[in-house]
């Protein structure tokens, strides 16, 4: 979604709150909510989602498992 991209590029370090009846909105925006508060807007069940904006991706990157003490396999053996 364009709104999520705009937030991530221009508002890193900010917090955004969204009130919506769409419970799947965070997944469709490709954002991870940091808080989810159930609410009612009249007869409509809603959620108040909190998003902590970060630049780029907040996903943890896999750590390389290569052992630094292992011999270099690309170099010929002496």
Outline where DSSP puts E strands in the chain. 15-20, 35-41, 44-52
Q: What pLDDT does residue 75 have?
A: 59
Does residue 62 belong to any structural domain of this protein? no
Output the pLDDT for position 60: 62
* Residue 8 lies inside a defined structural domain of this protein: yes
Locate 66 and state its tokens. Answer: 């290569």
Tokens matching residue 53: 């904006």
At 12-57, the pLDDT tens digits run 999 999 999 999 999 999 999 999 999 999 999 999 999 999 876 6
3-state SS class at 27: helix
Is residue 48, in this structure, part of any structural domain at all? Answer: yes
Total tally of structural domains belonging to the chain: 1
Q: Please, are residues 1 and 9 in contact by the beta-carbon 8 Å criterion?
A: no
């Amino acid at each position: 979604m364009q709104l999520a991209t705009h937030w991530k590029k221009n508002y890193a370090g900010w917090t955004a709150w969204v009130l919506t009846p769409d419970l799947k909105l965070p997944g469709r925006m490709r954002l991870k909510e940091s808080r989810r508060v159930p609410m009612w807007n009249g007869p409509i069940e809603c959620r108040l989602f909190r998003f902590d904006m970060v630049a780029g991706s907040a996903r943890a990157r896999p750590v390389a498992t290569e052992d630094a003490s292992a011999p270099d396999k690309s170099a010929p053996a002496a």
